[in-house]
Structure 1
């Protein structure tokens, strides 16, 4: 079935890609050999970071002539070393002029690898159902339109490693800016191009914070307060995000009662949970402010015990996708096994064990109280800077559900807030087929995606590529 469906598009892509001239402009630097693998090395003059990478490993991307780089951006200070794993895929179409976008997985909690997004959502290859050994071509990869950069962060996430990990979102934002500066200096042809950030889950923290840090650093560069490459941030997309603890925790209660897939609680239980939220959770959240580690950590524990814990145990369901049974969290995914293969790791230049999601990172952020901090004010600052913002959500995700994501979009203060809130959701179509519902005003769009959990890009690939392209083109999303 797949072969007959994909062949016409495949031939079109081959025709487009094979006519593109090869990319050659980059800072060559020197070479080193580690564990029998040769890496190209570039030393940044701005941050002092090193970029150590292999070129065109032949892994994942199956389209002829598409350049890829994979390796590490090494950030060092006298007391710290952070080896940040990255994997870059050039655009399949017009890579010399296509924009650049970065993907960051957040996860149910922080500490999940962006290789999830690469191999299971929007990357050049995927492990489709029933194929447990080799990846297959993804015809709806985001690098169909943009040059794509996947980054594992913080340290101890995915293939990234070092002697210390980040403990909160603000620390991660500074690391990502340093990593991007090194990338731009090593590959200068991407400087000054439009840049977008796309993320999910805990990306409701990451996306706004990384974007705001980039904007702040741009201002400092323009004022001569720091050195660096100005990053032309034009778009931010977050699906099923954890933005604000008040909204997200309360939305779990309402969603458990009235979602369109599966009612989990009764009307009486709805009232009881809402009362517990207001009397137990809200007072502690009110005391939490960035930097109040002890108070914020207590708020997380209280809200988890009162709301998230008992609700998530109410029935046998996957908190990422209410339509599915509770997963075996210890069962590795096919792509996970693939990335553990010695030959594959050697080819792509990975020199550390792969970890899909790391509890050490989650614990570090949790102990810092990061989960309980609202990133709505940060997102508002990004929207005010004329960045196109997309908030979208698969409607079967329970933990970071579309109820809460819609409330975030409605609460967000921006120039078009009144217009946005006056509109109703209307059908969102792809080539005339209704796959979701949406509304937009100015540069803010919200999209509910039908029949998808948090893995929106896997379950609705055509829709996902369409909204990605529309957002990267700095447009509010629209039906086709």
Structure 2
């Protein structure tokens, strides 16, 4: 961990007391007036705009947006929406898009936020399938440099990103103490196969330190982790690229002869490089694994035809879902209303380049995922089956490899039909606190393609219920 990161984390991590107390003030930055909450324990501040009138227009539902400032030129954007029903008792859910370095505004505007763009309209309308129907929702742009977040930070890997997220949540609880005792859910997608396990594990580690009184902080009542179309483990998922490309239900992307060549490349080049990354764990070894597997498997398959890696039913030259929301978020009136100070960047290169420098992509988070499942919280892996980049075959392989007390029961179970109001929308299986769902006719962003199904799954999981058909 770099010194610049430790310099602001150390007081919170070691539990050093502060003579100063939390305080509230106002500040004007770039013509925007913020209510400022200064959190003494973490030396952070929340700069907030309340009820902007953007996106969530349901009467009586409050929203807050703005920045967590953790130091000089370190500004992390967040957007919080109260639940539409019973916000005083509803759980709290934090959402993270992947990348690494992709904005959580993707999830907010394209997937499951309070508003959505219908038929490429220029302005959004209310989303009846929003996840804030029964949960208070917190969308976070991380790491810094992503979305509306801006400035400098030391994040160059999944592991170094986790403390920033914990710190934001600590400041959020201090500002909004009514959520401290609520169930907390962590949901994510794509590179969230790295983020989700590590962020959950870090929260649980911090909780243990707080309980042992070796750390000053607020325990986070983590009860569920949900990851759709996640990237967890290269050894499993690089091979799944070949299998899915040959056997997916929509269109074969390669033929049997091609597949045989790819399997040879996987066994002789890709897999050994991944194993070397895992064994020696140096940045160089893990960068090499990413490069080798890209060269012998990913790049060639992606060049095999005109199809979109996020939805193989669509052409590669016609991005889908539509990018209407990006233009909307770059409107100066919208930016000022929500307290955004920098032009929106959906998936900028700079944060991703930092992760690439450490070979983070090829580092497995399967052991971390197993450790989180073993703690007993509800964990869901789910995947839209038209996605290639983090396809359901790889996700299913990861699910079957998770080590937990009910692993044998899970692996031996068969996938059962999953219905929504009597219509089959996918298949699923579960054992103990662990569930896997394959969602039919959905690309990478499951909630965009199957919003009703996604909301039913989400509500069941955060309600501490086993997955069940309706």
Q: What TM-score comes out, normalization by structure 1 length?
A: 0.91
3-state SS of 2:343 partner? coil
Q: Distance in 2 between matches of 1:209 and 1:272?
A: 34
Contact 1:380 1:413 in 2 (8 A): yes
Q: Distance in 1 between matches of 2:111 and 2:445?
A: 6
Contact 2:80 2:136 in 1 (8 A): yes
Alignment RMSD (CA, Å): 1.5
Residues 89-128 of structure 1 mapped to structure 2, 5 A cutoff: 89-106=81-98, 109-128=99-118
Select which of 169, 174, 180 maps to 2:169. Answer: 180
Q: Distance in 2 between matches of 1:161 and 1:327?
A: 30
Q: 1:383 is matched with which residue?
A: 373
Cα 1:330/1:389, change in 2 over 3 Å = closer
Residues 32-181 of structure 1 mapped to structure 2, 5 A cutoff: 32-76=27-71, 81-106=73-98, 109-131=99-121, 133-181=122-170
Contact 2:97 2:104 in 1 (8 A): yes
Alpha-carbon shift at residue 164 of structure 1 (Å): 2.8
Q: Distance in 2 between matches of 1:176 and 1:44?
A: 15
Q: Distance in 1 between matches of 2:321 and 2:372?
A: 38
Residue by residue, what CA displacement relative to the aligned partner does 1:8-35 show, whole Å, maximum 9, x if unpaired? xxxxxxxxxxxxxxxxxxx881111112
Cα 1:55/1:378, change in 2 over 3 Å = same
Cα 1:138/1:308, change in 2 over 3 Å = same
Runs of 4+ in 1 over 2 A off after TM superposition: 327-332
Residue 29 (structure 1) aligned with residue 21 (structure 2) = no
Alpha-carbon shift at residue 435 of structure 1 (Å): 0.5
Select which of 298, 307, 312 maps to 1:308. Answer: 298
Q: 1:196 is matched with which residue?
A: 185
Residue 227 (structure 1) aligned with residue 216 (structure 2) = yes
Q: Distance in 2 between matches of 1:469 and 1:69?
A: 23
Residues 74-473 of structure 1 mapped to structure 2, 5 A cutoff: 74-76=69-71, 81-106=73-98, 109-131=99-121, 133-289=122-278, 291-327=281-317, 333-473=323-463
Q: What TM-score comes out, normalization by structure 2 length?
A: 0.93
3-state SS of 2:454 partner? helix
Cα 1:327/1:186, change in 2 over 3 Å = farther
Residue by residue, what CA displacement relative to the aligned partner does 1:306-349 show, whole Å, maximum 9, x if unpaired? 11110111111100000000035699811000000000000000
Residue by residue, what CA displacement relative to the aligned partner does 1:236-277 show, whole Å, maximum 9, x if unpaired? 000000000111111000000000001011111111101100
- Mean alpha-carbon deviation: is it higher for 64-73 or for 158-167? 158-167
Alpha-carbon shift at residue 386 of structure 1 (Å): 1.0
Q: Distance in 2 between matches of 1:351 and 1:410?
A: 44
- Mean alpha-carbon deviation: is it higher for 160-169 or for 244-253? 160-169
Alpha-carbon shift at residue 387 of structure 1 (Å): 1.1
Alpha-carbon shift at residue 291 of structure 1 (Å): 4.8
Cα 1:339/1:165, change in 2 over 3 Å = farther
Alpha-carbon shift at residue 475 of structure 1 (Å): 2.5
Q: Distance in 1 between matches of 2:235 and 2:387?
A: 18
Q: Distance in 1 between matches of 2:73 and 2:369?
A: 30
Residue by residue, what CA displacement relative to the aligned partner does 1:79-102 show, whole Å, maximum 9, x if unpaired? x64211000000000000000000
Q: Any gaps of 5 or more consecutive residues in structure 1?
A: 1-26
Alpha-carbon shift at residue 477 of structure 1 (Å): 1.0
Aligned residue pairs total 448
